[in-house]
Amino acid sequence: MNKAGSLAGLIGGMPPNEVISAITTGFGKTLSTIGLVIGFGVMMGRILEVTGAGQRMAYAILNLLGKNKEEAAMALTGYIVSIPIFCDSAYVILNPLVRSLARNSGRSVIGLGIALAAGLIITHSSVPPTPGPLGVAGIFGVDIGLMIGWGLVITAPALIALVIYARLMGPRIEAMLEAQPGGFEGSVKHDTDSMMPESELPSLLMSCMPIGLPIALIFLNTLVSAVMGDTSNALTSTIAFVGNPVIAVGIGVLVAIYGLMPKTPKQEVFDHLEKGVETAGIILLVTGAGGALGSVLRASGGGDYIAMQVAALGLQPLLIPFIIATLVRFIQGSGTVSMITAASISAPILMGMPDVNMVLAAQAACIGAMFFSYFNDSYFWVVNRMLGVKSTKHQMLVLTLPTTLAWAISIITLLLLNAIVG
């Protein structure tokens, strides 16, 4: 992406030293706003993984929704758990619960697996502090609290639709798998040894606190800023401080450490935190590179030129990041890379257009990245391998079709909301 930024600057007539300055400035500015949040987020996710907090939240949701709503329970579990945890690792953590629930309830393991996968991918693609949406928010310069709120609202219809899909199609897909020579090797025949005993899980309150507290603080800051505006008095300045995403998520990490691992040896805690940070490196580089590309496009005037050309086409502005993200997602598979690329290219364009809701534009880039999970997407393999689905046809029914449905429903919802709120 930095190569693309260099070429864009040179082709745009910028002197080489100014190209370098724009790249380094854009890279640093982007990571200065969200780099620490990404690091804290993956640390928190690691702690939720190893302590069983995600598993505890899943049990609570199952108990809340009751019998015969198992698909909704798994989708809602994924919808919540994937806010701080990468969907790949979250699926691995919660897959034993899918199998256990299928065995005890008689529901289709494929249906429950689809529901969980759907809930995970939806918030992974649209709700900070997941790194992709967080990076997009940073590039567009939009409020994190608004990004979280709109992400939850826009994707809710898609979540409901995919619960229905899982409930209707899960048993049918499983029947197709059972009819194959050799039968279906996945499902509930596998053991659930990787699940922690329920008696050893942390309390529900403490399991939810690392996720809920940062989100509440960020929302409170957004609400107070919108209502009061003035941050000069002690109360509003304190709320602005603790509601800053860096501080809020940092507080969440501390709550996770001291609330979920109070008796764990210090070195073991450090080892878990370092393991989590290992996954953040490539995300930071991609996010920073996206900011660098956007900086060059702005400095070179390329963004203004593209904006004029696109504006002349009469295309709905929100479709620009959406289409770019969709194309990049289809070509190279990574949702995070596609949404960051779309944001990097489209943000300079949309900033030059009047009356564009930048939060919805940022969400459009995120929604485009849901499109058509397939062979070039690691999540495609995680879900299908964990469920024991080997046939390409059935793999596409398990994840490719649901992600494409979520993509279509979410962009329709976004455009309707844009027509209403502008």
Q: Residues 125, 404: contact at Cβ < 8 Å?
A: no
Q: Residues 201, 59: contact at Cβ < 8 Å?
A: yes
Would you say residue 196 lies in a domain? no
Radius of gyration for the chain, computed over Cα atoms and rounded to the nearest angstrom: 22
323/341 Cα distance (integer angstroms): 11
SS3 state at 368: helix
Would you say residue 296 lies in a domain? yes
Residue type at 23 in one-letter notation: I
Q: What interhelical angle do 358-368 and 319-332 show, nearest 10?
A: 20
Would you say residue 90 lies in a domain? yes
131/89 Cα distance (integer angstroms): 14
Domain hosting 139: range is 2-191+201-421
61/119 Cα distance (integer angstroms): 13
Would you say residue 324 lies in a domain? yes
61/45 Cα distance (integer angstroms): 19
Would you say residue 156 lies in a domain? yes
Residue 190 DSSP one-character state: S
Q: Per residue of the chain (422 residues), what is the pLDDT tens digit?
A: 555 556 556 555 677 777 777 778 777 776 776 678 768 877 887 888 788 887 787 778 778 888 789 999 999 989 988 876 678 767 877 776 787 678 767 789 999 999 999 999 999 999 987 878 988 999 999 998 899 999 999 999 999 999 999 999 999 999 999 888 766 766 554 444 456 777 888 999 998 898 788 878 887 887 787 677 666 688 888 988 998 888 888 898 999 999 999 989 999 999 988 887 776 776 677 667 766 766 776 676 665 565 456 546 767 899 999 998 898 888 777 788 789 888 988 998 898 888 899 999 999 999 999 999 988 787 898 888 878 898 999 999 999 999 999 999 999 999 999 999 86
Largest interatomic CA distance in the chain: 72
Domain tally for the chain?
1
Closest by CA to 100, choosing from 162, 187, 204, 202, is 187
Structure tokens, 405: 């449905």
Would you say residue 337 lies in a domain? yes
226/81 Cα distance (integer angstroms): 28
Would you say residue 187 lies in a domain? yes
